[in-house]
Amino acid sequence: MTALHEVPAEGGGGDVKVPDADGRVPVVLLVNGAPHRVHVRTTEVLLDVLREDLKLVGARNGCGVGMCGACTILRDGRAVSSCLTLAVLCEGADLRTIEGLRGGGGEGGEGGEGGGLSRVQRAFLEHRAFQCSYCTSGFILALEALLAVDSHPTEAAVREAFSGHLCRCGSYSRIMAAARQAAGLPSRGGLARGAVTGGVTGCAPDEEPGR
Amino acid sequence: MSGTLDDSGAADSRAGDSRAAVPVAVGAAVGQSIDVLQARSRVDGTVEFALNAEVPGMTHARLLRSPYAHARIVSMDVSAAERLPGVVSVLTAADFDRPGAPHRYHGPVVRDQPVVCGRRVRFAGDPVAAVAAESEEIATAALDRIEVVYEELPRVTTVEEAMADGAPLVHDRPPEVRDHGYADVRLAGVGGNVCTKFQLRKGDVDAALAGSDVVVDRTYHTPAVQHVTMEPHVVLATYDRRACALSVLSSTQGPFAVRDALCEMFRLPSSSVRVVVPPLGGGYGAKTYAKFEPVAAALSWKAGRPVKLVLPRDEDFLSLTKHAATIRMRTGATFEGRLVARDVQIFFNGGAYADISPRLIKNGGYSCVGPYDIPHVRIDSYALYTNLPPAGAYRGYGVSQAAWAYEQQMDELADVLGIDPVELRRRNLLVKGEAYATGEIMDEAHWEALLDKAAAAVDWSPDSRRGTGPSGRLRGKGVAVILKSTVTPSTTHAAVRLDADGTMQVFSSAVEMGQGAHTVLAQLAADAAGIPVANVHVTAPDTQYTPYDQTTSSSRTTRAMGGAVTKAARVVRDRVRRLASELLEADPDDLVVSGGTVFVAGVPSRNLSVAEVCYRTRTGSISGDGDVVTSGGLDPETGQGVASDHWHEGAASAEVEIDPATGKVYVTNLYVAAYAGRVVNPKLARLQMHGSALFGMSHALYEELVFDNGVLTNPNLSEYSIVSMGDMPRHLEVELLEEPGEAGIHGLGETGLPPVIAALGNAVASATGARVRQLPMTPERVLQAMEARGATEERDALRGLEER
Ligand code: FES
Ligand code: FES
């Protein structure tokens, strides 16, 4: 790991970078608060650099075309698709991945299962808001980005934040339930046992999504 | 912790009865929504998907694919690709001609799929070469340097084209079942482009149809769709030339199917092929049987280095599809609404290779009867070879196609008869003790309860079926009920090992793909052994160590693997009781093991911890095995016999609103119910139902693979829509029918999917008065159906005038 000030300026200074024989340019990426010096191809997307060079594997490729949200990271606080973000253009940006989320202290604390997790992560855990969880990092970061600018979002705003995210397993109801909890929105009822009918017991509905 | 563990006698005496579900202990963990194992890794990004796998010396693979649906390969030149710096190896069909080379063909039933094509490509996307390079980028660049000259051949892409006289043949030679195939799978009616046929015969259909008061005769269509697992296919294969051993890490649902395919391909004993499976980012049937393991393994064999293959999304779309199907169905009934006869021809578009079509079209075929008592039935179900990507297992497994047809037809029949659709179903539902069309007796039947609940969930009444909503939107309601089989016969083994400190390992080859299999198995194992669930660890499938399991599919894991694990854990518990018997001076039969403690029944103060028992008896570990082996099979001529070890029962209801100007369907209310028997983990079970409901909705309204001259035109999420959060029904409810006590566990992975599609179809037809018989029900199709209905009404009105 190289500190920012140790990075030598490239010839011509500032923004102009001359690719080496391999077609790579040196870039310093500030990821989860730490600077990382990497050599990237000018066409290389941030997702591949994060996964392959930095071994941060919480962002995942689901489509490569900006349609699924599985590769979401935070860039200067905003949720972006790292599959469409060129790594060379990220110098100087504050990049944050799911691995960089931390508990804000207070609730949950360091002990127990939720220790060290953010409020949003804990809500996803408590609501079991995932099946295969391939999409989960993306949903969590989308909500983190929203809550960072709007600590009391409306339900519509939460839905809007999730609009570029797909969950093929169909965990949307639980994801909304977790989001409501994390966003301090009223919940829509919980898991409860229904009445016995004709010797057969039913369960009451989960939290439902709504519009 | 009442009534926990004294059920062993009952369980074990029934062990030999293959059709009996293994009753499991009702204990501390079963029935609880305990947290999923390793849940934390799911929210902090650290879960180890195959995508993350790396080994030293690893190369990266890409596949070159045919741009043509059907063509002859005239020539291929890979020399420029081989010369590209960073390219390690280029694999073509020529590599398989050498002595000692692996077989070039594979397939779970018929070995008809080439690892890389030789002289002929059979679908647009068929691999013709594979490159291993130091980076994926180099491998991709190398693909451009491979020169292939093709000569296009006439193609068939639809079942109609495939069956036409003089149709071009996808395969010149008729398919043959491979040695040691699956017991329930045979080929019949082979010829032309017919890969196989299944038939069912019961009663005298022609006479019964002739004698029916009314007959409805319609044809229904469902398109090919893709699984779109968020994680694509990923394989990391390492062929060790010195040891003649192959090790594969794969995102597969069938570790042993993959192992067996690779053993056969490389002529290696099973001890020399190891398949390891990490958690999957979704399966839904896409990852059953060997898919890309053969090509990755062959490439590693040639390159002498480990090879990792990650399919790009557009190629994942070409890996496997749900079968497109055309279903002609005729149903005869009396004026009173009693079903008399059904005649079905169902044509499944199997694509270029057989994959598991021969089983799927059988299941899809006999499922066309639905959960109804129909005295006379004739079903002919076909798998056709075409020049499209291969079709295979898909959540719903042939039943969503069948149910789309038969549940539409029930409503159409109800309309003809002037009987309420719910009431028509009620008059014909199978009841307990009645025989299905295959002749097997239904040991359970809960459809009436399911139907009643589904109807109640949308406040069903005969006059509330259709209406008008705000701003002129058309409102409609629909219901559907279905039955679904599970793969039969099937074999599952499991093992457990209790260690001296009272913790337990469960060795299971069940794949964790988001359904929560490992959590549920831990719960079952904990209760059966009598230890806390926190003390149980479930291993990931590793064919070198974990016992054989047929597959993680067919909604079978909780019941079959759960049963095997339960038996294995009971073996351990009984051994603990015997060991403790001397120490506690009591007969083993009087000892209870619960929560990690052994105590004398009725005298809980006379107890020892399991760890203490092991320590004092100098026991290092205790192992136990268990299995669930089911039997059955159908007569190839008549389709009579046992189709399924037990049946999955589901129902759904839906309310929709349709904009009459655009034809767009808005789902306002969706309800899905399944018979669960006993639920091991309610939170996980309900998630499975949610998933099925949304898959169903997605298939009903959005999804369709569109081919142009056999070339897929929408191979990514930018052009292929799946249900998103914004499409969610305003109200979504799932319900599990449970029975108290020792009811058998019923899988829930798929039951909710088929009825949702059909219920939505019926709701759309209720709202518009016009039926869309072709999925998905896009705005265009809805409008078209409404216009056609308008035209018919006008014509009928005119005819009425003329006749007057
Ligand atoms: S992988 Fe980036 S949006 Fe799908
Ligand atoms: S949990 Fe599997 S894709 Fe969302």
Residue B291 has pLDDT above 70, yes or no: yes
Residues B568, B624, single domain; the answer is: yes
In a domain, B770, yes or no: yes
Cross-chain CB nearest to A173 (options B33, B732, B738): B732
Token pair 């599959």: residue: A83
In a domain, B716, yes or no: yes
Residue B281 has pLDDT above 70, yes or no: yes
End-of-domain residue from the set B255, B287, B316: B316
pLDDT score at A19: 84
Give distance in angstroms: CA of A129 to centre of ligand 2: 9
Give distance in angstroms: CA of A171 to centre of ligand 2: 7
Starting at the edge strand found earlier in the chain, the sheet holding B491-499 runs B536-538, B504-507, B491-499, B621-629
Task: Count the alpha carbons within 13 Å of A136 in the hemisphere toward its beta carbon.
Answer: 33
Sequence-distant (6+) residues with CB within 8 A of B122 are B69, B70, B170, B171, B352, B353, B387
Residues B515, B594, single domain; the answer is: yes
pLDDT score at A31: 98
Q: Which domain holds residue B249?
A: 50-155+229-316
Residues of A in contact with B694 (CB under 8 A): 170, 172
Looking at B44-118, list the stretches that DSSP marks H as alpha helix, in order from N- to C-terminal side: 79-83
Residue B164 has pLDDT above 80, yes or no: yes
In a domain, B203, yes or no: no
Starting at the edge strand found earlier in the chain, the sheet holding A78-81 runs A34-41, A24-31, A94-96, A72-75, A78-81
Starting at the edge strand found earlier in the chain, the sheet holding B194-202 runs B194-202, B376-385, B339-351, B324-333, B214-222
More confident position, B365 or A22: B365
In a domain, B40, yes or no: no
The whole-number average pLDDT for the span B165-185 is 92
Domains of chain A (ranges; CATH) run: 22-99 (3.10.20.30), 101-183 (1.10.150.120)
Indicate whether residue A138 lines ligand 1 (CB < 6 A). Answer: no
pLDDT score at A113: 56
pLDDT score at B28: 75
Residues B60, B144, single domain; the answer is: yes
pLDDT score at A104: 53
Beta-carbon separation of A140 and B43 below 8 A: yes
Residues B349, B464, single domain; the answer is: yes
Alpha-carbon distance of B500 to B502, in angstroms, equals 5
* Span between the terminal Cα atoms of chain A, in Å: 47
Looking at residue B750, which CATH number applies to its domain? 3.30.365.10
- The minimum CA-CA distance between B219 and chain A, rounded to whole Å, is 30
Q: How many domains does chain B have?
A: 3
> In sequence order, what E strands does B504-574 have?
504-507, 536-538
Token pair 């998630």: residue: B687
DSSP per-residue string spanning B293-310: HHHHHHHHHHHTS-EEEE
Q: Supply the ipTM of this predicted assembly.
A: 0.94
pLDDT score at B179: 82
Alpha-carbon distance of A93 to B731, in angstroms, equals 41
Cross-chain CB nearest to B726 (options A159, A175, A201): A159
Residue A126 confidence class, pLDDT cut points 50, 70, 90? very high
In a domain, B648, yes or no: yes
What 3-state DSSP class applies to B623? Answer: strand
Q: Could you read off the pLDDT of B595-653 as tens digits, one per residue?
A: 999 999 999 999 999 999 999 999 999 999 999 999 999 999 999 999 999 999 999 99
Tokens of B781: 């199709």
Cβ proximity of A83 and A61 under 8 Å: yes
Ramachandran area for residue B230 (φ above 0: left; ψ -120 to 50: alpha; else beta): alpha
Beta-carbon separation of B728 and A172 below 8 A: yes
Residue B459 confidence class, pLDDT cut points 50, 70, 90? very high
End-of-domain residue from the set B629, B645, B672: B629
Residues B400, B530, single domain; the answer is: no
Residue B33 confidence class, pLDDT cut points 50, 70, 90? confident
Residue B469 confidence class, pLDDT cut points 50, 70, 90? confident
Residue B559 has pLDDT above 80, yes or no: yes
Residue B15 has pLDDT above 70, yes or no: no
Exposed, middle or buried, B620 (CB in 10 Å: 0-12/13-18/19+)? Answer: exposed
Ligand 2 pocket, Cβ-based, cut-off 6 angstroms: A 130-135, 167-169, 171; B 230, 282, 514
- pTM for the model: 0.92
Q: Nearest-CA neighbor of B611 among B498, B525, B495? A: B498
Looking at B2-101, list the stretches that DSSP marks H as alpha helix, in order from N- to C-terminal side: 8-13, 39-43, 79-83
Residues B658, B762, single domain; the answer is: yes
Alpha-carbon distance of B540 to B48, in angstroms, equals 11
Residues B572, B625, single domain; the answer is: yes
Q: Which residue of A has its CA nearest to B314?
A: A63
Tokens of B316: 């994942």
Which range is least confidently modeled, B14-28, B66-80, B662-676, B753-767? B14-28
Exposed, middle or buried, B364 (CB in 10 Å: 0-12/13-18/19+)? Answer: buried
Residue A115 confidence class, pLDDT cut points 50, 70, 90? confident
Q: Could you read off the pLDDT of B687-730 as tens digits, one per residue?
A: 999 999 999 999 999 999 999 999 999 999 999 999 999 999 99
Phi/psi for B574 (5° steps) reads -65, -35
Residues B657, B717, single domain; the answer is: yes
pLDDT score at B12: 30
Residues B372, B502, single domain; the answer is: no
Q: What is the amino acid identity at position B523?
A: Q
Mean pLDDT of chain B: 94
In a domain, B804, yes or no: no
Cα dihedral sign, B281-B285-B286-B290: positive
Q: Could you read off the pLDDT of B351-399 as tens digits, one per residue?
A: 999 999 999 999 999 999 999 999 999 999 999 999 999 999 999 999 9
Nearest CA to ligand 2 atom 4: A167
Identify which of A45, A49, A60, A81 to mutate to test ligand 1's pocket (most ligand atoms within 8 A of the CB). Answer: A81
In a domain, B693, yes or no: yes
Residue B23 confidence class, pLDDT cut points 50, 70, 90? very low
Looking at residue B119, which CATH number applies to its domain? 3.90.1170.50
Residue A8 has pLDDT above 80, yes or no: no
Residues B662, B732, single domain; the answer is: yes
Residue B62 has pLDDT above 80, yes or no: yes
Residue B289 CB neighbours (<10 A): 25
Would you state the torsion angle of the CA atoms of residues B353, B512, B263, B89, taken in this order, to the nearest 10 degrees? 80
Looking at B530-616, list the stretches that DSSP marks H as alpha helix, in order from N- to C-terminal side: 562-583, 610-616
What does DSSP say about strands A24-31 and B127-133: parallel, antiparallel, or unpaired? unpaired
Give distance in angstroms: CA of B250 to centre of ligand 2: 19
Residue A103 confidence class, pLDDT cut points 50, 70, 90? confident
Looking at B129-195, list the stretches that DSSP marks H as alpha helix, in order from N- to C-terminal side: 136-144, 159-163
Residues B481, B606, single domain; the answer is: no
End-of-domain residue from the set B604, B629, B654: B629
Alpha-carbon distance of B439 to B804, in angstroms, equals 51
* Span between the terminal Cα atoms of chain B, in Å: 78
More confident position, B13 or B103: B103
Q: Could you read off the pLDDT of B395-416 as tens digits, one per residue?
A: 999 999 999 999 999 999 999 9
Cβ proximity of B489 and B498 under 8 Å: no
pLDDT score at B194: 98
Identify which of A68, A136, A139 to mutate to test ligand 1's pocket (most ligand atoms within 8 A of the CB). Answer: A68
In a domain, B212, yes or no: no
Residues B642, B564, single domain; the answer is: no
